[in-house]
Amino acid sequence: MKATLGRRLIYLFMMLVVSVPLITNYTVRPAEMKAANQFYSLVENLSVGPNDIAFVAFDFGPNTKAENEPQAEVIVEHLMRKRIPLAVFTQYAQAEGFLTSIPERVAERLMKEMPGEKWEYGQDWVNLGFRPGGALFVQAVAKSTNIAKELDKDAFGASLLQIPAIQNVRTLENVKLLTQFTGLVGVFDTYIQFFQNENYVPSFGHGCTSITIPEAYIYLDSGQLSGLLEGIAGAAWYSELLLQNNPQRAPDAALVINTALGVAHLAVIALIILGNLVAFVGSQRRPS
Amino acid sequence: MEENYRKTLIKILTFLGGIYFFVEFILPKAVLEKIGVAEHHSFISYGFIVVGSMAVGLGIINLFMVHGSRIIFRRKDWFSSVVLLVGLLVMMFATVSDWRSGLRITSETRKWTLLGEFTEVIEKDFNEKKEGVPSLDVRVNALLESIDQNAQQTSKLLKSKQGASRIPKQEPKFVLAQSYAKQIANMQQAVLSDSKELEASFDTETPDFAPFAPLRQSLDQLGVTVGKFLQLHYEYSGVRQTYNFLFHGLFVSLGSAMFSLLGVYIAAAAFRAFRVKTLESSLMMIAAVIVMLGQIPFYVYIYDGLPLWRQWLLEVPNSAAFRAIKIGASVAGLVMAFRMWFSIESESFADDTPGESA
Amino acid sequence: MNISWEAATVLIGGVATLAIYSFLIKENPFYRFFEHLFIGIAAGFLPVYTIKSFFWPRVLEPMLGYHIQVYPDGTPTAEYDTKILFYILPMLFGLLYYFIYSTRFSWLSKLVIGFSLGYSGGLAFKGFFAEMVPQLTSSFKPLLVPGESGMDWAMSFQNMFFVFTLLAVMYYFFFTFQRKSVAGDGVAASGRWLMMVCFGAFFGSTVMARMALLVERLQFLLHDWFNEISGII
């Protein structure tokens, strides 16, 4: 009974502590992330021809949405700002709803920010929908000699040969960038292993959940990844970079969330210290 | 005897399943091209996906078997089973409706792009003197008639969509939808006048196909613009909003909340379970604290160099140690794959006896 | 009171979140209701998406010839490609999965399960080399790194430390022979310690991931949901 009450008190404490910065909208500048800087430069310096495209895979569901969604938003925003056509798709059925909502939300925000300019479906982005098959699908695309024909239709059943953003994409060489957001290591592996052909490997930027940060670093070290967003902290720093380079940009929720996350970390560290102190004092009092 | 035959059959099929991708991997590209595998690789790959995708009904059947029987026999928690099956059916219905809406947009777009394609086909067939197709005047007349019909249908559609528009007026998309509607009206006018001109001037005896190319372009553009217009309205349609309600309102919220419970559990575990008693646990805790503090915004109040420490820790000891683990795990994975392919690992799987469930 | 769909979506999201959080107090019917609803919804869209995104456009539509349209003069847009009929074979083969429900013929489902295991095994060879070769090559770091003026000792030390950690951790996992030397034991022990540092990084990251989920939900409740509620009130 006492233990249950104690546990519930910790739950309550955690929720209250995290709520304070959220209610007060308290923000602190995020910590600089080297890997996110790399990702930013990658997108910023991407040279894209008229038939080229960036592939953006949203391989996440509600379970990792908290981290992957802000990452996906900042990257889609950056690509849209740079007017780089992008194709969004997923290998994970639970992400289907995000394929529509994220690009639309970003396009709407950009149109509000820059009245008179427009970002439209078909011209700036295309939704390829859920693509089952895992490694088989990724490999089939990578080896294709006519990717637009290979992928056939968008999520609404329209022929890709009629969609300006993708209609001229022929081989993997036209895919200048692959970005992928996931908490699923297995799905990430399919791109590392199969999204390449004999002569060409597209630049690969990855947005991972915090749990997989340590693993993602080995791919960054080997050059298999050209950029990395590390959880919310990575998204928040990327958002900060976008803000620095586009001062008219309205700040997004990533900064507040990142600040609250910082508070949560401090609280967890405090709980660990406190727990150890209580245990130490308890062991001293106990007769040997 | 019969058991052996089954066992062998399972092993053979397991082996055959892997042989294609193995051979495709080891043979050079030139050889694959020569024997025609490269050309059909995508078709074959999708064939493998077809096999897997046939299993899609298994989950639904299982759910209906488990929860259906619970409802029928009024077992404990039968009402929860009703909720589960209702949720399943409603989501399936909403997803199918959403799919149908998407197809409707596509078919409206296709109405125009089909005509664009037709102009090209008429010209090509005539130049190639293709046999078995209607005469040129029949084809051109059919094209012009269809343009008229499409224009009438699209005008009606435009009016009905604008009349029942749900796009909030303060949204930039409202302005965009209006500009699309204007563009469509103008494009239609232009296409209709082009088609009238064509009707008057086109001579089937000595045909001049020069106006066909710009007409095709206009028809394609018109189709694409109609698609964009409908797409905007679709985002605010009842079907889409119902889908959003179920997906974002219920599914995403429930899924996120379910997993976020781990946040408070880990806080409780931090207090109750993480004890620093040995050298190993101390090392682990020091690394954890550096990683945690190095990525939060408050590091500036603690020590400026924390992000650099964190970065070094992740780039050097973490990457090296994790790579060692990864190399070991991958080699083991490869051996496992080999054993699976040759049914060494799954010996008991292949070893079937009648009556035994899979 | 007129509630828009957007508002209703946010409101139900908040109610659903609170229902799940009520589990922190005690398991209750409110929680159970939403828990089962979640499972139902999650199971509902996968089959439809598989058919919508793959099975219909890639297999059924071309097989039934529905992708062939008719031009205004009655001629078809394309000819029927009989190659697609080859897919009947994998379809029939895939149907063997459903024998899993038969007591007598369940062995037939093992044919197709075995086939799937086989092809994932076959694919693994290519996957292994594509993934691991860059990993192995990037592990061979230069132990002495020349700098602008003489040696870059910091970088050299870092590379040495990297290579030592890699080898020490790998050595720790060699259980096939008995370690007899003190040096060997020392290397294995340091491998274990360095692995602990790696696990520490994992642990720190895990805390961050879990907390991010909690913060996102609270942000939703305190901002989006609260704003909708107060708007209605």
Residue A164, CA atoms < 13 Å, CB-side half-sphere = 17
Domain that holds residue C36: 1-80
Dihedral sign for Cα atoms in the order C69, C75, C77, C83: positive
pLDDT at res. A277? 92
**Residue B257 confidence class, pLDDT cut points 50, 70, 90:** very high
Q: Is residue B286 part of a domain?
A: no
Are C73 and C97 members of one domain? no
Residue C144 lies in a domain: no
Q: Give B11→chain C minimum CA distance, Å.
A: 7
Pair (C166, C134) in one structural domain:
no
State yes or no: pLDDT of C2 exceeds 90.
Answer: no
- pLDDT the model gives residue B350: 66
* C135: nearest CA partner in chain A: A222
Q: Tell me, what's the pLDDT at B356?
A: 45
Q: What is the pLDDT of residue B203?
A: 82
- Residues on chain C touching B9 (C-beta within 8 angstroms): 111
- Residues C70 and C95 reside in one and the same domain: no
Please count the residue pairs, one from chain A and one from chain B, whose beta carbons lie less than 8 angstroms apart.
Answer: 190
Q: Is C41 on the interface with A (CB under 8 A)?
A: no
Q: Which of residues 101-140 of A touch B (CB under 8 A)?
A: 101, 104, 108, 111-112, 115, 118, 120-122, 132-133, 136-137, 139-140
Least CB–CB distance from C24: residue in A11, A193, A260: A11
Give chain B positions within 8 Å (CB) of C126.
Answer: 21, 24-25
For residues C75 and C2, membership in a common domain is answered with yes
Asked which of B184, B217, B236 is the last residue of a domain, the reply is B236
A31-249: CATH number: 3.40.50
Nearest CA in chain C to A21: C219
Q: Is the Cβ pair A65, B45 closer than 8 Å?
A: no
Tell me if chain A has a CB within 8 Å of the CB of C209: yes
**CA-to-CA separations, C155 to A92, A221, B40, B128, B319, in angstroms, rounded:** 41, 14, 49, 70, 16
On average, the pLDDT of chain A sits at 92
pLDDT band at C110 (very low <50, low <70, confident <90, very high): very high
- The 8 Å CB, 24+ separation contacts for C158-165 are C158/B312, C158/B316, C161/B316, C161/B317, C161/B320, C162/B316, C162/B317, C162/B319, C162/B320, C163/B320, C163/C139, C164/B320, C164/C190, C165/B316, C165/B317, C165/B320, C165/B321, C165/B324, C165/C191, C165/C194
Q: Which of A260-264, A282-286, B33-37, C110-114 has the lowest mean pLDDT?
A: A282-286
Do B246 and B229 share a structural domain?
A: no
Together in a domain, C114 and C188: no
The confidence score (pLDDT) of residue C217 equals: 95
**A144: number of Cβ within 10 Å:** 19
- How many domains in chain B? 3
Domain boundaries, chain A: 31-249
The nearest CA of chain A is from the CA of B214 a distance in Å of 16
Residue B292 maps to a domain: no
The CA distance from A47 to A56, in Å, is 17
The full 3-state SS of chain B, as one line of letters, equals CHHHHHHHHHHHHHHHHHHHHHHHHHCCHHHHHHCCHHHHHHHHHHHHHHHHHHHHHHHHHHHHHHHHHHHHCCCCCHHHHHHHHHHHHHHHHHHHHHHHHHHHHHHHHHHHHHHHHHHHHHHHHHHCCCCCCCCHHHHHHHHHHHHHHHHHHHHHHHHHHHHCCCCCCCCHHHHHHHHHHHHHHHHHHHHHHHHHHHHHHCCCCCCCCCCHHHHHHHHHHHHHHHHHHHHHHHHCCHHHHHHHHHHHHHHHHHHHHHHHHHHHHHHHHHHHCCCCCCHHHHHHHHHHHHHHHHCCCCHHHHCCCHHHHHHHHHHHHHHHHHHHHHHHHHHHHHHHHHHHHCCCCCHHHHCCCCCCCC
Note the pLDDT of residue B327.
94
Domain span at residue B250 reads 240-273
Chains touching A, CB cut-off 8 Å, 3+ pairs: B, C
Residue of A nearest to B323 (CA): A218
| pLDDT score of B3 more than 70 | no
Grade residue B340 by pLDDT with cuts at 50, 70 and 90: confident
**Residues of chain B contacting A162 with CB distance shorter than 8 Å:** 109, 113, 220, 223-224
CB contact under 8 Å between A136 and B323, yes or no, is: no
In chain B, what residues touch A233 (CB-CB under 8 Å)?
A: 295-296
Q: What is the mean pLDDT of chain C?
A: 91
Tell me the residues of chain A between 93 and 112 that have a Cβ less than 8 Å away from chain C.
Answer: 93-94, 96
Note the pLDDT tens digit of each residue in B306-338. 999 999 999 999 999 999 999 999 999 999 988
Q: What is the pLDDT of residue B351?
A: 65
Question: What pLDDT was estimated at residue C220?
Answer: 95
**pLDDT value of residue A1:** 54
| Cross-chain Cβ contact A231/C50 below 8 Å | no
**Does B311 contact chain A (CB < 8 Å)?**
yes
**What's the rounded mean pLDDT across residues B166-186?**
88
Q: For B184-191, what is the mean pLDDT?
A: 92
By C-alpha distance, the chain A residue nearest B315 is: A217
Residue type, C187: V
**Is there a single domain that holds both residue B29 and residue B138?**
no
The nearest CA of chain B is from the CA of C166 a distance in Å of: 5
Which B residues in the span 36-65 are in contact with A, Cβ-Cβ below 8 Å?
Answer: 38, 41-42, 45-46, 48-49, 52-53
Instruction: Count CB-CB contacts under 10 A for residue B41.
Output: 17
The set of long-range contacts for A246-252, using a CB threshold of 8 Å and a minimum separation of 24, is A246/A81, A248/A113, A248/A114, A249/A113, A250/A109, A250/A112, A250/A113, A251/A27, A252/A70, A252/A73, A252/A74
Does B229 share its domain with B106? yes
d(CA B348, CA C82): 40
Residue C231: predicted pLDDT: 87
What share of chain B in percent tops pLDDT 90? Answer: 59
On whether residue C95 sits in a domain, the answer given is yes
What integer pLDDT is reported at residue B348 of this predicted model? 63
Whether B135 and B181 map to the same domain: the answer is yes
B224–chain A Cβ distance below 8 A for any pair? yes
The count of other CB atoms within 10 Å of the CB of residue C44 is 26
Search chain A and give the residue with CA nearest C207.
A265
The answer to the question of residue B36 being in a domain is yes
Residue A157: closest CA among chain C residues belongs to which residue? C57
Query: Do B115 and B139 reside in the same domain of the chain?
Result: yes
Contact C209 A22 (CB under 8 A): no
CA B7 – CA B346 distance, rounded (Å): 11
Please check whether residue B338 lies inside any domain of the structure: no
Q: Binning pLDDT at 50, 70 and 90, where does residue B358 land? A: very low
Q: Give the closest-approach CA distance of C89 to chain A in angstroms.
A: 18
Asked if residue B232 and residue B156 are part of one domain, the reply reads yes
Q: Of B49, B70, B90, which closes a domain?
A: B90
Instruction: Name the residue in chain C with its Cα closest to that of B53.
Output: C50
Looking at the structure, tell me whether residues C21 and C71 fall in a common domain: yes
d(CA A209, CA A229): 9
Residues A97 and B167: their CA atoms lie apart, in Å, by 19
Inter-chain touch C12–B249, beta carbons under 8 Å: yes
Residue A206 pairs in a beta bridge with A180, A228
- Render pLDDT for A41-63 as a digit per residue (tens, 0 to 9): 999 999 999 999 999 999 999 99
pLDDT at A162: 87
Q: How far is CA A37 from CA A71, A182, A240, A241, in A?
A: 13, 19, 11, 8
Residues of C in contact with A192 (CB under 8 A): 130-131
Mean pLDDT along residues B281-287: 92
Contacts of C218 in chain A (CB under 8 A): 15, 18-19, 22, 260
C146 lies in some domain: no
Give the pLDDT confidence score for residue A2 in this predicted structure. 60
State the pLDDT at residue A45: 95
Residues B24 and B100 in one domain: no
Q: What is the C-alpha to C-alpha distance for residues B346 and B342, in angstroms, rounded to an integer? A: 9
Last residue within a domain, chosen from B209, B236, B263: B236
* Separation in Å, CA of C227 to nearest CA in chain A: 12
Which residues of chain A fall below pLDDT 70? 1-5, 287-288
Of B46, B55, B314, Cβ closest to residue C58? B46
Give this complex's ipTM: 0.90
Does B235 touch chain A if contact means CB atoms closer than 8 Å?
yes
Q: What pLDDT score does B355 carry?
A: 45
Q: What is the pLDDT of residues C172-207, one digit of tens each?
A: 888 777 777 888 888 889 999 999 999 999 999 988
Q: Using the beta-carbon criterion (under 8 Å), do B244 and A230 form an inter-chain contact?
A: no
- Split into its structural domains, chain C has a count of 3
Mean pLDDT for C30-53 is 93
Instruction: Give the closest of C202, C212, C222 to A261, CB-based.
Output: C212
Per-residue pLDDT tens over the stretch C198-233: 999 999 998 888 899 999 999 999 999 999 999 888
pLDDT band at B352; cut points 50, 70, 90: low
Q: Which of chain B's residues have a Cβ under 8 Å away from the Cβ of C128?
A: 330, 333-334, 337
Chain-chain contact of A15 with C218 (C-beta, under 8 angstroms): yes
CB environment A173-188: b (16+ within 10 A), e (fewer): ebbbbbbbbbbbeebb
